[in-house]
């Protein structure tokens, strides 16, 4: 039991029969537990099927240690302005920690009863170059996994070695379904899997090319990190302690390319998912309209002293900034998704951001910016430049990221920058006291900035001017003066 909590009993799983495992999911973090798992539990309740989920943590024991004592049941709390609504989710069968027993993970994925392997491992988990989409064959985990088929470390290593076991045993492949915020995440995932497979065994690569399926997805539900206060509030409201509980907003949207091996999948469409032929326009809409403005608010809001997104957009200047971004710089680059009204979608986003029950921390969203910027902001920048449109808001967002990764806030306090390139970014930032040289050093990091974009004089100048304003006036005043 967490220190300070009342002495209620811990949540325990009911005696209801468990469905057999049909899905292995890599990355059992809060988003998966607030989104994928409830969707799947609802699909089973509506239409049946052996779609129980075996989850795999690729690094930490934390989620396993919280879920296992509860029989892998947990509470999903829907946080609306009028109050919370609690649902107990019992679709997870077990939690494995990959480094403890990689063989068990491979055996589970190789089981022909498993029809789908899905992922929520964040952008960096795909071990690719965000600027090109290519697999990083020199990534330490990938290099290790190519030589160690029985003890992989990366998601991609586990997937390809498990597929190889199924091929050698004469079984069909599983569908590999990514659920992370990456543009064209299905084709991208196919690309990194094929890159690994070709390096491992050309015959395996040919088999995956012929029989594998990699449906693209677009997922959307704001899921703030669970706090001790959340756990205590749940205990007070429901009479039990659940250290694995998750918080989420009422809204959810799941768009799935309907392309599965043997057409085998849960009835997600029956409980609200959109099964479509082409996800790309939806994906781009979400990445640019939601994730792009989320990152903008995270960096500039953090620098302005705001702890959460709701706090940030409560400032009319920040609401004005993202409304202008949507209207002038983002939606002009987004193809019209079937059945969507882009400006109505953006208005709904702003309403979601204002939800005071969702304490989505700016610092949390700011993590791993080097992996997120190419998809969330820089593609939009490139499209606007190609069309001859100005980019004042996007340039300010990029400049905000640059100021943030410098590691010192506007009051002189250290920022805890969580990023796989944090050391390189800080070294580039500190390489010169001259702002233009500082920005040039950051733009030279081609893991983030494509060389042609970094060399674009309009982009460089816009980012430099925005950065100078942030340094001179501070984030709050700079946003206040944005027109």
* pLDDT class of 1 with cuts at 50, 70, 90: very low
pLDDT given at position 224: 87
CA separation (Å) from 86 to 9, 78, 188, 215, 360?
17, 6, 36, 31, 19
pLDDT given at position 218: 94
Q: How far apart are the first and last CA of the chain?
A: 51
Q: Is 444 left (phi over 0), alpha (psi -120 to 50) or beta?
A: alpha
Mean pLDDT for the stretch of residues 387-400: 98
CA 471 – CA 177 distance, rounded (Å): 43
* pLDDT class of 131 with cuts at 50, 70, 90: confident
Q: Sheet containing 274-276: give its strands across.
A: 217-220, 253-257, 274-276
Instruction: With a cut of 80, say whether residue 4 has pLDDT above it.
Output: no
Averaged pLDDT score across all residues of the chain: 95
pLDDT given at position 283: 87
Which percentage of the chain shows pLDDT scores above 70?
98
Q: What is the pLDDT of residues 221-255, one digit of tens each?
A: 989 889 999 999 999 999 999 999 999 999 999 99
SS3 47: helix
* pLDDT class of 182 with cuts at 50, 70, 90: confident
CA 297 – CA 476 distance, rounded (Å): 11
pLDDT given at position 5: 53
pTM flag (> 0.75): yes
Q: What is the pLDDT of residues 107-124, one digit of tens each?
A: 999 999 999 999 999 989
| The two structure tokens encoding residue 372 | 């997120």
* pLDDT class of 381 with cuts at 50, 70, 90: very high
Q: What is the pLDDT of residues 270-292, one digit of tens each?
A: 999 999 999 999 989 999 999 99
SS3 10: strand
* pLDDT class of 9 with cuts at 50, 70, 90: confident
CA 71 – CA 98 distance, rounded (Å): 19
Q: What is the pLDDT of residues 291-340, one digit of tens each?
A: 999 999 999 999 999 999 999 999 999 999 999 999 999 999 999 888 78
Mean pLDDT for the stretch of residues 402-429: 97
Neighbouring C-beta atoms of residue 95, cutoff 10 Å = 21
DSSP string for residues in 116-132: EEEE---GGGG-B-TTT
Neighbouring C-beta atoms of residue 155, cutoff 10 Å = 26
pLDDT given at position 6: 52
Residue 297: which residues within 8 A CB-CB, separation 6 or more?
A: 309, 312, 313, 318, 322, 353, 362, 365
């Amino acid at each position: 039991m967490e220190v300070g909590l009342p002495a209620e009993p811990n949540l325990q799983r009911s005696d209801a029969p468990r469905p057999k495992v049909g899905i292995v999911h890599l990355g059992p973090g809060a988003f998966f537990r607030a989104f994928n798992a409830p969707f799947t539990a609802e699909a089973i309740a509506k239409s049946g099927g052996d779609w129980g989920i075996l989850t795999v943590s690729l690094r930490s024991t934390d989620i396993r240690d919280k879920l296992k004592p509860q029989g892998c049941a947990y509470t999903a709390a829907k946080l609306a302005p009028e109050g919370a609504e609690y649902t107990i989710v019992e679709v997870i069968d077990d939690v494995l920690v990959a480094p403890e027993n990689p063989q068990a993970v491979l055996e589970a994925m190789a089981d022909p009863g498993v029809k789908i392997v899905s992922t929520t491992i964040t952008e960096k988990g795909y071990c690719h170059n965000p600027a090109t989409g290519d697999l990083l064959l020199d990534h330490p985990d990938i290099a290790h996994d190519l030589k160690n088929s029985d003890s992989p470390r990366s998601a991609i290593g586990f997937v390809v070695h498990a597929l190889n076991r199924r091929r050698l045993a004469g079984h069909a492949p599983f569908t590999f379904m990514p659920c992370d915020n990456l543009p064209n995440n299905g084709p991208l995932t196919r690309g990194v899997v094929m890159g690994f497979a070709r390096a491992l065994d050309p015959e395996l690569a040919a088999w995956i090319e012929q029989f594998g399926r990699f449906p693209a997805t677009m997922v959307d539900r704001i899921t703030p990190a669970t706090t001790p206060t959340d756990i205590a509030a749940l205990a007070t409201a429901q009479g039990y302690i659940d250290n694995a509980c998750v918080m989420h907003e009422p809204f959810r949207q799941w768009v799935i390319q309907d392309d599965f091996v043997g057409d085998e999948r849960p009835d997600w469409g029956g409980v609200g998912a959109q099964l479509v032929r082409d996800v790309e326009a939806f994906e781009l809409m979400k990445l640019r309209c939601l994730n792009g403005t989320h990152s903008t608010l995270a960096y500039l809001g953090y620098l302005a002293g705001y702890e959460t997104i709701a706090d940030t957009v409560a400032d009319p200047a920040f609401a004005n900034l993202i409304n202008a971004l949507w209207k002038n710089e983002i939606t002009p680059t987004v193809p019209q998704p079937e059945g969507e009204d882009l400006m109505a979608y953006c208005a709904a986003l702003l309403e979601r951001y204002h939800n005071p029950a969702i304490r989505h921390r700016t610092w949390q969203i700011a993590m791993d910016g080097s992996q997120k910027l190419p998809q969330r902001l820089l593609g939009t920048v490139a499209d606007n430049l190609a069309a001859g449109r100005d980019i004042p808001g996007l340039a300010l967002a990029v400049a905000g990221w640059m100021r943030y990764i410098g590691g010192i806030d506007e009051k002189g306090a250290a920022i805890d920058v969580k990023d796989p390139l944090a050391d390189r970014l800080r070294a580039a930032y500190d390489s010169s006291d001259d702002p233009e040289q500082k920005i040039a050093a950051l733009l030279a990091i081609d893991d983030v900035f494509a060389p042609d974009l970094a060399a674009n004089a309009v982009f460089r100048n816009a980012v430099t001017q925005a950065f100078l304003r942030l340094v001179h006036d501070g984030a709050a005043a700079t946003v206040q003066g944005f027109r």
